[in-house]
Amino acid sequence: MTSMGIVRERERGTLKQLIVTPVKPWELMLGKIVPYIVLGYVQITVALLVGVLVFNVPIGGWDLGRNTNINKYLE
């Protein structure tokens, strides 16, 4: 997704504007990545809540293992 955002900036001609701003490259990449990560966590949370509250699906297991799997899904 990040590469798509950078390509979109280049197509629009705003990549040069990004380069001359006083933003470090890692800050630019972080700003492109973080919204997708947050959106992914929101989607997973909503899916789990709907499963538990609407369909009465029991969510069990080891919390660390579940969180590791969620993080791998978001990669």
The pLDDT value given to residue 54: 97
The 3 state secondary structure assigned to the chain is: CHHHHHHHHHHHCCHHHHHHCCCCHHHHHHHHHHHHHHHHHHHHHHHHHHHHHCCCCCCCCCHHHHHHHHHHHHC
* Tens-level pLDDT at each residue, the chain (75 residues): 566 777 777 767 777 777 777 888 888 888 888 888 899 899 999 999 999 999 999 988 778 888 888 888 777
The pLDDT value given to residue 1: 57
The pLDDT value given to residue 42: 93
Domain ranges of the chain: 2-74
The pLDDT value given to residue 56: 94
The pLDDT value given to residue 21: 79
